[in-house]
Homo-oligomer: A and B are copies of this chain.
């Protein structure tokens, strides 16, 4: 029995694996593999249409929002966004809350001015800054809703008078939010949406009126919208896995149901870790992520013992990111409660052994 706590690519529902596996040899009883069907066929158009409409339904998007499935990951959006909405005489506001936000800022600087409104780099990104002003003349305000590496998560949507943009790669579809407050949302699929190799973009049509012209076709969101995410051959299989995962999410009750489960999983893990001074939780309590829990050992020499114990019991992907060290436990939507329970049992066992 394996328990996969990978930070991404990460666990997906078992039934998604099974159906995706079947579709590789026979897609929808066509006698053809999903890998060999043309993308401009009713067969694949139905996949794309259903995936787009499930995103709209699950996120309760209003009529001004367009949903795109684009090549690449969030890292592509780091530069595509400012390429569309910045220029040397324009300024964008960014909140700097971790490694991914820092990368987004670096790319934006190539296209225009960047004002970092606040940063938590002073304490190794272990908290979310709360007090800051977003300049009214910014082309947009950009932040990361959940910081995968540092284990922090923004608990509310910032008030912004300028267009609001969020990288939701590691917590999209995990909790209820008024997604219509955003002018632009993007997320690499490989955590809560589906398989690696595709990017979900939700963009407000009115915001697109402000986009630059003379863009390369593949970089122009308007061109992708006009072509229904099929300007060129899309990442067919990755989108199909998104469809299967979205169907699963709807079936189990959508975002409200998964949010409840995600809260239970995170609460169980954090409360178990808090029981003993063996474990140290570097993130400020109010800013803790419900997707990625980061912790270290007070006595770092015990870390390898804990890691060995976890490995022996089939726990995968719990080593911390090289920037933070210690451990990181990712509990995305598809992670069952039973895996978190198995991990907390090990933690309790470890506490009993080493606290004596």
Chain A residues with a Cβ under 8 A of chain B: 1-2, 4, 6-12, 17-18, 20-22, 24-25, 30-33, 35-39, 71-76, 78-79, 83, 103, 106-107, 110, 188, 190, 195-198, 214-219, 231-238, 241, 314, 316-317
* Chain B residue at minimal CB-CB distance from A235: B197
Per the bound structure, the CA–CA distance linking A31 and B315 in Å amounts to 12
| Contact of A216 with B9 in the complex, beta carbons under 8 Å | no
Given A37-B9, A71-B197, A235-B235, A218–B4 Cβ distance below 8 Å? no
Contacts A/B (CB < 8 Å), 13 sampled: A2-B31, A6-B36, A8-B233, A9-B35, A17-B24, A18-B25, A38-B317, A78-B218, A79-B219, A106-B217, A197-B198, A197-B237, A235-B238
Residues in B neighbouring A107, C-beta threshold 8 A: 216-217
| Contact of A37 with B238 in the complex, beta carbons under 8 Å | no
A132 to B: closest C-beta gap in Å: 26
| Contact of A241 with B195 in the complex, beta carbons under 8 Å | no
Per the bound structure, the CA–CA distance linking A237 and B234 in Å amounts to 14
Given A22-B21, A237-B237, A39–B196 Cβ distance below 8 Å? yes
Per the bound structure, the CA–CA distance linking A226 and B164 in Å amounts to 34
Given A73-B71, A79-B218, A188-B233, A36–B24 Cβ distance below 8 Å? no
| Contact of A20 with B38 in the complex, beta carbons under 8 Å | no
A322 to B: closest C-beta gap in Å: 10
Q: Name the contact of A232 in the complex, choosing from B36, B75, B216, B316 (C-beta under 8 A).
A: B75
Per the bound structure, the CA–CA distance linking A39 and B191 in Å amounts to 13
| Contact of B2 with A231 in the complex, beta carbons under 8 Å | no
| Contact of B17 with A233 in the complex, beta carbons under 8 Å | no
* Chain B residue at minimal CB-CB distance from A107: B216
* Chain B residue at minimal CB-CB distance from A72: B71
| Contact of A35 with B6 in the complex, beta carbons under 8 Å | no
Per the bound structure, the CA–CA distance linking A25 and B74 in Å amounts to 26
Q: Name the contact of A35 in the complex, choosing from B12, B72, B73, B79 (C-beta under 8 A).
A: B12
Residues in B neighbouring A231, C-beta threshold 8 A: 75
Residues in B neighbouring A9, C-beta threshold 8 A: 35-39, 233, 236
Given A17-B35, A217-B79, A316-B32, A232–B6 Cβ distance below 8 Å? no
* Chain B residue at minimal CB-CB distance from A35: B195
Residues in B neighbouring A214, C-beta threshold 8 A: 110
| Contact of B110 with A232 in the complex, beta carbons under 8 Å | no
A326 to B: closest C-beta gap in Å: 17
| Contact of B10 with A36 in the complex, beta carbons under 8 Å | yes
Per the bound structure, the CA–CA distance linking A9 and B8 in Å amounts to 26
Per the bound structure, the CA–CA distance linking A8 and B44 in Å amounts to 13
Per the bound structure, the CA–CA distance linking A135 and B230 in Å amounts to 36
* Among A2, A36, A72, A73: residue with most chain B CB under 10 A: A36
Residues in B neighbouring A316, C-beta threshold 8 A: 32
Residues in B neighbouring A83, C-beta threshold 8 A: 216
Q: Name the contact of A38 in the complex, choosing from B7, B35, B38 (C-beta under 8 A).
A: B7
A16 to B: closest C-beta gap in Å: 8
| Contact of B24 with A20 in the complex, beta carbons under 8 Å | yes
| Contact of A234 with B196 in the complex, beta carbons under 8 Å | yes
